Amino acid sequence: MPDQPNVASSQITDKELIKRITGGEKELFEIIIRRYNKRFYRIGMSILNNDQEVEEAMQAAYISAYEHLHQFENRAAFGTWLTRIMLNQCFKARRERSRTLSVQALSENVINMKTPENVMASRELGRALENAISRLPEKYRVVFVLREIEDLSIQETAEVAGIQASNVKVRLNRAKTMLRESLTDYMKESVYQFHLSRCDKIVGEVMGYLRSSLPSARIE
């Protein structure tokens, strides 16, 4: 695992990071990965429900974002732009899976939502909530994860999901009525845990690819 960039990552903004990365400081892309890993994982699990497929989608999304970083425009928030790339990658992965896996394999993977590092007392509750969310229809599930777990605004959620802001409210309310109210208070503490060791794994694999395969991002 390479040393982390010598920069106060919590103090540097996305805008400054983009400027410096596209200016040649490729190593700073690690800060973006660590900053958005948890969000990516939660979104991935809400669509793919499979650890391995989610990690592969995360890596592909980060690489795609790096390759197109010079195309980012400030008309939308960088987090929204980045999240949309992850969402599209998850949909692509699911389409590819549906072409290659049997119905039986799909049904088995839907239930495969284990997070082996988490052995705390809240594990069973977290699993119950994950399963409850996984049973939501996709259009409600994605909005629920973006709004209630990732704390995106209504407008950001609408932009990411490609729907009207009014539809975000409708789908969120519908999602909540379909979940057990007793689990709602524990949602942010228990659902889709993404631990430091997994964060390090994603960082190592993406940054290793960028170092070996791509030139520094540049402004065109």
Among left, alpha and beta (phi > 0; psi -120 to 50; other), residue 199 is alpha
161 and 180 both lie in a single domain: yes
In a domain, 2, yes or no: no
User: Residue with structure tokens 């065109």?
Assistant: 220
| Domain of residue 123, CATH code | 1.10.10.10
Contact, 15 vs 78, CB < 8 A? yes
Contact, 58 vs 40, CB < 8 A? yes
In a domain, 1, yes or no: no
pLDDT in tens for each of the 220 residues of the chain?
344 554 456 689 999 999 999 999 999 999 999 999 999 999 999 999 899 999 999 999 999 999 999 889 877 799 999 999 999 999 999 888 776 544 344 334 433 444 444 444 456 666 777 878 888 899 999 999 999 889 899 999 999 999 999 999 999 999 888 885 545 555 555 556 677 788 888 999 999 988 887 666 554 4
Contact, 79 vs 100, CB < 8 A? no
Residue 16's Cα: distance from chain center in Å? 22
Q: In terms of residue numbers, what domain contains 37?
A: 9-117+193-220
In a domain, 69, yes or no: yes
89 and 198 both lie in a single domain: yes
- pTM for the whole structure: 0.67
In a domain, 47, yes or no: yes
SS3 201: helix
100 and 142 both lie in a single domain: no
64 and 146 both lie in a single domain: no
